[in-house]
Amino acid sequence: MNLILQALKSTAVSQSAIDAIAALAGGAAEKLADTRVPDADAWRVTGVTSSDDLKARVDAASLAAKVDYAFVDPARKLADFKLVAMDMDSTLITIECIDEIADMQGLKPQVAEITEAAMRGEIEFNESLTRRVALLTGLDAAALQRVYDERLQLSPGAQHMLKAIQAAGLKTLLVSGGFTFFTDRMKTRLGLDYTHSNTLEVADGKLTGRVVGGIVNAEEKRLTVERVCREIGAQPSQAIVMGDGANDLKMMGISGLSVAFRAKPVVRAQANVGLNFVGLDGILNLLG
């Protein structure tokens, strides 16, 4: 195995910190001259024998140094994959859309508290979404466009990552417990192949506080990844799946490479790769 270390250039991580992490893995760090992430530096430690104990020690040292790490098979290539599936809120984009919609009602703290509990896995997702959407009852539907125009931003590295994987011929799926108002716009804006999310009910220009149809929960996310894989003639093991909350764990669990992006501890603990500091394009340095 190789151990790949990455850090934002703006962090100015010291070489001694990199060397210390490499020493934990029993090797020396070689700086990558061909890093694919413009705003990050990367290093490789070759011939590493991974273990749970080593991962725990590297994890602690990397977090302290603000360095991302991944144990990777050097033979694994981007071309081995056929699909990249992404969560939307706090993964592809920086915000939780429902929290920002709620802010238009002066209810952001109440909704955000439920959002956080759901992402940590403390509240079942269907219940959390139902409770949060109900708080939006009566809000003018124009608030959705305001959130999109004024607050929605792509996560660091998102556009660069998407251009690279699309150029390599991989299909893209945005599967979200959020709302079609936003996923539809992301699909058009970024040229995504597939999207799946919840539909907010609107009557007389106002949100009714209900969702139309079934809820896109953890199980539905998993089923969606499986369905899209079948449509493109791929196995789930040929999917890269990115997420940040407990609602993403089932779809991450069937993937060939699971990526926890700025994720909750419960997600980081189960993912193959954690990106806590570099952008989404950090995955490009992990695959040949």
Q: What's CA 34's distance to the chain center, in Å? A: 24
Q: Please tell me which residue in 41, 68, 89, 248 is annotated as part of the active site.
A: 89
Q: Please tell me which residue in 87, 99, 248, 281 is annotated as part of the active site.
A: 87
Amino acid at 216: V
* Pair of tokens at residue 120: 């940590």
- CA 277 → CA 12, 14, 142, 161, 237, distances in Å? 12, 15, 34, 15, 26
- CA 166 → CA 3, 58, 162, 169, 177, distances in Å? 26, 32, 6, 5, 24
* Pair of tokens at residue 28: 């020396």
- CA 144 → CA 40, 172, 187, 196, 203, distances in Å? 34, 24, 16, 18, 14
Q: Are 267 and 260 in contact (CB under 8 A)?
A: yes
Annotated active-site residue 41? The verdict is no
Annotated active-site residue 89? The verdict is yes
So which residues are the catalytic ones? Answer: 87, 89
